[in-house]
Amino acid sequence: MAQQLVDRRDQEFVIWEQMNCEEITQLPPYRAFNKKTCDMILTEARSLAIKELHPTMKDGDEQGVRYDNGTVKVPESYHRAFNLIREGDWNNLSVDPEMGGQGAPGFLGMCVTEYLMAANWTLSCYTSMGMGTALLIHKFGTPEDRAKYVRKLTAAQWGGTMLLTEPDAGSDVGALTTTAVQKPDGTYVLSGNKIFITNGEHDLVENIIHPVLARIDGDPPGTKGLSLFIVPKYLVNEDGSLGERNDIVCAGIERKHGLHGSATTMMSIGGKGNCVGYLLGKPCEGMKIMFYMINNARMKTGLQAMSYASSAYLLAVNYARERIQGRDLEDYANPAASSVPIIRHPDVRRNLLWMKSYVTGMRSFFHYMTSCQTKAEWAEDDVERKAGADIFNLLSPVVKEYLGTKGCEVCAQAIQALGGAGYTKDYLVEQYARDCRAVPIYEGTSGIQAMDFLARKIGADKGAAFARFIDEIHRMVDRASAVGGLKTLSEKVATAADRLADVCAYISQLTRSSQIKVAFAHSLPFLHATGDVIMAWMHLWRADIAVEKMKTEKKPKNVAFYQGLIRTAEFFIETELEISLGKMNAIQSGCAAAIEITEDEFGSI
């Protein structure tokens, strides 16, 4: 049967052979999840995704959500599938048992999530977004807060959100105007408006818990004066039962390019002057607390784009195997020659291999980040814990932006592979392309991720994290250089890594000069060049393993798989990485045109 949604063999390769996640299952918190158990869970997740969730994807796109006087209704088919996810505890697989979850290792939760996202992200998000809300309350809330909210959120009995963006502030979060005034009983009255709120209102759960950024009356301007509040849709009584309706309502929904099954809402807070909020953590620490959720959200958005790209690529390659059109190029002059599957045409093959190289490289990059996150939490050695945390923090904007952008490009090329058919609604690649386009926008647009990478991440710990990252690549280069057939590829990756380090030093120096705006005009190409080098590193790593496996592997299917890894590494390093060196040259040219051009020179009004 043709692969659907996720290439299971590639997923298994990444977690078991490349990232060696069996070592993670030996850590004390995860000993109940041996390899056999993990494989069984993945099989069941695949079945649920393909049989139950995926059939609802078109309903989400074609029916969308419906707004009616403050309420939002999701497509009817979502209800059964939502309940199946909730009843199977798929939503809280990797959540700490102390919070009501099953305590599975992060890599397993992410593999399951890849299936659910590819099957229908808009549906799966309703079950999972409350996990972020629960994490905030568990980490920063009072014991009473934790008892009242956390387990209802992790069970998906209640939903959760994240209320940051406002109509006039946009990405300039420090300019928000939502206010909070303390009452004698210690609670707060909130007033303001929020937009672009995912899952702000819907009919799948009985209550929704909103973490809301607001400024306590009298606190300083900017992000340093923001605090975070728990604002329930329905107030919760001391015994855990639902109380009165709170003064926070959905004022409308956004009509979007894609993701029609996701309720993206406008929220009115305190319209009647009685929106009750409960301070989470300390005053003026709202952004610090919220970033704990944002970093995890960046990972999830990167995974979302990768899931779309994976499914779109598999649809394209399966179509190319079945679509008969045109003669083989070698028989082009023979009108009597039979037509062949389009996968035999050179440019189709190049396009498919281009997509494969990004999808598989992104999967390796993502799970490398997951392993860093796990090491940061559970490694027994302090040095290893710090190394994991440093790399994860350094590359978090890269995993969000690079996977988001490249995921969109893969979906667009999947349409191209199908030709005219791909542009119709008869094939899901068209929907994947529309749905994926949101990923480089939310959780911080491309430019915001690039600014964060250059302004905060590169210089952290006096550049030690970036230096460690480059050293990691060179360790892989040294290992692969000794493997037959990989010396040339290894040298190219080493050259690119050294070149990236030079560019990093150059652009960092610009940020400390009068050319600071020029530096930030090149920050996004710099982030993308970093992503390209990471991908080359991942492919060299994959090829290194494949060469070793090929020495003993006898099964034709596995031989083809490993040979495919080597070919894909050759393609990416010999073609895409060469293009990235041109990007680095362009950055180091220091072109200031984007800064020097006047507003009038952009064109007439």
Residue 299 token pair: 């990972």
Residue 449 token pair: 């991720």
SS3 content of the chain, % helix, strand, coil (to 5): 60, 10, 25
Q: Is the distance from CB of 581 to CB of 499 less than 8 angstroms? A: yes
Residue 506 token pair: 């150059």
Cα gap 196→263, rounded to integer Å: 9
Q: Is the distance from CB of 104 to CB of 94 less than 8 angstroms? A: yes
The upper half-sphere exposure of residue 220, i.e. CA atoms within 13 Å in the direction of its Cβ, equals: 6
Relative orientation angle of helices 464-481 and 487-511, to the nearest 10 degrees: 170
Cα gap 38→22, rounded to integer Å: 10
Cα gap 397→531, rounded to integer Å: 10
Q: What is the β-pairing status of strands 275-280 and 188-198? A: antiparallel
**Of residues 309, 341, 304, 296, the one with CA closest to residue 135:** 296
Cα gap 44→472, rounded to integer Å: 35
In 183-327, which residue ranges form alpha helices assigned H by DSSP? 286-322
Residue-wise DSSP of 567-590: HHHHHIIIIIHHHHHHHHHHHHTT
Residue 223 neighbours by CB under 8 Å, 6+ apart: 173, 174, 287
Q: Is the distance from CB of 451 to CB of 445 less than 8 angstroms? A: no
Cα gap 326→344, rounded to integer Å: 10
443 assigned to active site: yes
Residue 214 token pair: 């607001």
Q: Is the distance from CB of 538 to CB of 368 less than 8 angstroms? A: yes
Residue 167 token pair: 């109509």
Q: Is the distance from CB of 495 to CB of 356 less than 8 angstroms? A: no
Relative orientation angle of helices 346-378 and 106-128, to the nearest 10 degrees: 100
Residue 601 neighbours by CB under 8 Å, 6+ apart: none
Catalytic, out of 62, 443, 570, 599: 443
Strands (E), 338-457: 339-341
Q: What is the β-pairing status of strands 242-245 and 226-232? A: unpaired
Q: Which amino acid is at 286?
A: G
Cα gap 215→194, rounded to integer Å: 14
Phi, psi of 418 (to 5 degrees): -85, -10
Which residues lie across from 214 on neighbouring strands? 227
Cite the active site residues. Answer: 443
